[in-house]
Amino acid sequence: MMKRIAVFTSGGDSPGMNAHIRAVVRYALHKDIEVFGIIGGYNGMIKGELIPLGRRETANIISLGGTILRTSRSMEFMTEEGRAKAAENLKISQIDGVVACGGDGTFRGAHLLWLEHEINIVGTPGTIDNDLFGTDYTIGYDTAINTCAEAIDRIRDTAGSHGRVFIIEVMGRHAGFIAMDVGISCGAEFIAVPETVTDLDILNERISQQGEHKRTIVIVGEGDEMGNASTIAQIMKERYNIDAKVTILGHIQRGGSPTVRDRVLASRLGVAAVDALINGVTDKFVGEINHEIAYTPLEDAYSKKKLLPQYIIDLSELLV
């Protein structure tokens, strides 16, 4: 039986993590389960930094970006000794189950906690990249793409006024979900992502078709095989004598108040994660596929690649 559980956030923060924490706490209390928050991800687990969470601690956080539990990337947890310390602290605190909200690194650590120390643990997808196998969408993705779209719409106004080429870099080191969605929704003339071959001759041709008034928006996922936005801008200058302005949206994509869609997804997955622990599910990742709750082995979540749908790639080519 689950009498006491813990929840933590790990890796990069994403909008909706606080809504997720709130849902875990509210639903667990409804089931007469105590909840503790682990401060600072796996580092906090190693240090034994757990605090009780109740309705008061989670009031008015649903609209906040970031995470009230803070987050980190723990080098110590990557060692067997670090994981042993973390597991011992959970056992001392009489934690029966853990909800881990984060990305692939978070799930890798959670899987090892189960394998090495039999800590009951489930994961939930907290990352703006939307690159986790086993869920259609991740917590924070919708907010991130809307933040990008707003910024790019503003840049397009300037591009039109001055007749300039803008190369805009968005996050997505290994996956092009953000770049594709914002590129299509903002009417980009060219989208470069890790999943496709980037042909700059085609980009040059599209810019040339604009004539003297070269108003062009190019979206680059940071992990593109040709390089980041600055690298591509340099190549365009050297190869085609095209001057381009570079904008790197960076960490603004992670911040801000979560959208309604992210708040609802985060809340639903928080409730599902608690239910999973109550029902004896462990070493699984709780996602949403076709609007239904789905359990995926934690190892699959970080070892299997989530593919960018071909229809999205085709759509981006049709609408340029």
What residues are annotated to the active site?
A: 129
- Residue 64's nearest CA partner among 162, 119, 143 is 143
> Can you list the alpha helix ranges (DSSP code H) found in the chain?
17-30, 41-47, 80-92, 104-117, 141-162, 177-185, 200-208, 229-240, 260-278, 298-303, 310-318
Going by the DSSP 8-state scheme, the letter that residue 126 receives in this structure is B
Computed on alpha carbons and rounded to an integer, the radius of gyration of the chain in Å comes to 21
Quick count: other Cβ atoms within 10 Å of Cβ 66?
17
- Residue 283's nearest CA partner among 266, 269, 268, 296 is 296
Phi-psi region of 89 (alpha: psi -120 to 50; beta: other; left: phi over 0): alpha
- Compute φ and ψ for 178, nearest 5 degrees: -60, -50
